[in-house]
Amino acid sequence: MERVRGFEICKGYENMEVHLPIRKTAHSVAYDLETPEDITIPSIWKTVFTNFSKWLKGEKEFENIKPTMIKTGIKAYFGTDEALFLLNRSSNPGKRGLVLANSVGLIESDYYNNQDNDGNLIFAYYNFFPVDVTLKKFDVVGQAYFQKYLKADNDQATGIRTGGFGSTDAK
């Protein structure tokens, strides 16, 4: 049978008991991706209050507020006329305070097996709750769905991916 689209375990995660993504119901659009290990997403308010304290003291150097990058240990293969979208779970903002830093993750077919991270699907989360949030191994961290896309008549793209996460705009 010819492979069309699907998921695989990334290099380095083969012995970590990683589950391939599944759809939970017959009418689910997206596949649930889990965390391969426990991970804590710090509250952004710790950094906000630390920076505010520094500002009150007259300091000029502040800590950057950065999202927590959550690797899934999963990669996806699919056609060159398709994309994979990474989405937050609808319950994450209300139950866990988690919001995706980039709103939607867009994965192109040439991300699969890339030299930087083997195509590891990564979620970038901010935690807006006042306390740190810990996801346990096998908690669903987000969802992914496949989608066909169209090209414009005058499309001239010829570039080649040379890296992983965020590499298409690297100079």
- pLDDT tens for each residue of 28-71: 999 999 999 999 999 999 999 999 999 999 999 999 999 999 99
Distance of alpha carbon 113 from alpha carbon 75, whole angstroms: 8
- Contact between 159 and 73 under an 8 Å Cβ cutoff? The reply is no
Establish if 129 belongs to a structural domain. Answer: yes
Establish if 55 belongs to a structural domain. Answer: yes
- Residue 42: CATH number of its domain: 2.70.40.10
Say what the pLDDT of residue 159 is: 78
pLDDT band at 162 (very low <50, low <70, confident <90, very high): confident
What residues make up the domain containing 11? Answer: 6-21+28-149
Residues of 74-88 as b/e, b for ≥16 C-beta within 10 angstroms?
bbbbbeeebbbebbb
- pLDDT tens for each residue of 11-27: 999 999 999 999 999 99
Establish if 166 belongs to a structural domain. Answer: no
Say what the pLDDT of residue 88 is: 97
- pLDDT tens for each residue of 111-145: 999 999 999 999 999 999 999 999 999 999 999 99
Establish if 92 belongs to a structural domain. Answer: yes
Domains contained in the chain, number = 1
Q: Quick one: three-class SS letters along 27-75?
A: CCCCEEEECCCCEEECEHHHHHHHHHHHHHCCCCCCCCCCCEEEECCEE
Contacts of 16 (CB under 8 A, 6+ apart): 36, 37, 73
